[in-house]
Amino acid sequence: MTRRLVLYNHPADTAAFDEYYFGTHIPIASKLPGLRSCIVSSEPPRLMAGNQAPYLIAELEFDSMADVQAAMGSAVGQATVADLANFAQAGVAVLTFDTRRV
């Protein structure tokens, strides 16, 4: 499996962020081809020590890295990325990695 973690920085207006994210962005991103699941943190994560934790984390699961690349290259993938400018002005980090059970 391949996972894509999207870590959103703290927005200036959390209510506006949440409204747009769940009302507009998630409906777009949920149509990514090959997307197996999408899980979103229900509250800001806690950090054991160090820098400030992100405001919200989304975890997207795909079968393979090739599926992630195909999804992001699709029209829906391009729309999903373009939509970030509409609500994620505080910044976002995206991590993509293959997983294995241990």
pLDDT of residue 76: 98
User: Domain of 81: which CATH number?
Assistant: 3.30.70.100
pTM of the shown model: 0.91
Q: What angle do CA 35, 30, 83 make, to 5 degrees?
A: 120
Number of domains the chain is built from: 1
Instruction: For 33-74, write each residue's pLDDT tens digit.
Output: 999 999 999 988 888 777 788 999 999 999 999 999 999 999
Mean per-residue pLDDT of the chain: 95
Rounded Cα distance, 89 and 52, in Å: 17
Q: Where are the beta strands (DSSP E) in the chain?
A: 2-8, 37-40, 56-62, 92-98
SS3 call for 72: helix
Q: What angle do CA 56, 61, 65 make, to 5 degrees?
A: 120
> What's the domain range around 54?
2-98
pLDDT of residue 52: 80
